[in-house]
Amino acid sequence: MNNPMVWFAVFMVGLIYYATASNNPEWSGNGNRCVGECYDAYTAQNGTPLEQETQKQELRAQASPADLGKTYYAQCIGCHGANGEGGVGPKLAGQAVDNIISKLNAYRAGQTVGNQSMLMWSVAKPMTDTDINNLGAYVGTMN
């Protein structure tokens, strides 16, 4: 056992065992449980988890494509700016909706559209047609 990796592995296993064995509720985050009266008060004010999810789905069904696209745009802000003004990525504000949708479809298909296509391929790949249309609708509201 002269190998430092073996000693490191033994140390890590011991550390994990110690942390697990001394599972302090305050350390692990379990000190904030909401049960009994706490849960009853929470559900009286907010509804049950099922009711909350049903309400979210009803609101989503009533939302416009641009509203739904705004939610999706949150992951675009880092490169394209909060208002589509550009930054690391190109400016989106002022582009036609059809142009945005066309580019996103091309990225999703793995096509090269511009210098940063490789970055966009992984972003667009999991997007559905609805996601792309909603995002295009939101970007279309930017001036």
Evaluate whether residue 97 is within a structural domain: yes
CATH of residue 118: 1.10.760.10
Mean pLDDT of 3-24: 79
Domain membership of residue 109 as a residue range: 64-139
Q: Is residue 126 part of a domain?
A: yes
pLDDT digits (tens, 9 = 90+) for 78-111: 999 999 999 999 999 999 999 999 999 999 999 9
Residue 7 falls within a domain, yes or no? no
> Does 6 map to a domain?
no
Instruction: State how far the alpha carbon of 52 is from the alpha carbons of 38, 48, 64, 68, 138, in Å.
Output: 17, 6, 20, 18, 26
Chain segment 72-87, per-residue pLDDT in tens? 999 999 999 999 999 9
pLDDT at 80: 96
53 domain residue, yes or no:
no
- Is 74 a member of any domain? yes
How much is the pLDDT for 26?
A: 55
Whether 17 is covered by a domain: the verdict is no
Using DSSP's 3-state secondary structure scheme, residue 3 falls into coil
36 within a domain of the structure (yes/no) = no
Q: What is the pLDDT of residues 36-47, one digit of tens each?
A: 898 899 999 999
Q: How many domains, in total, are found in the chain?
A: 1
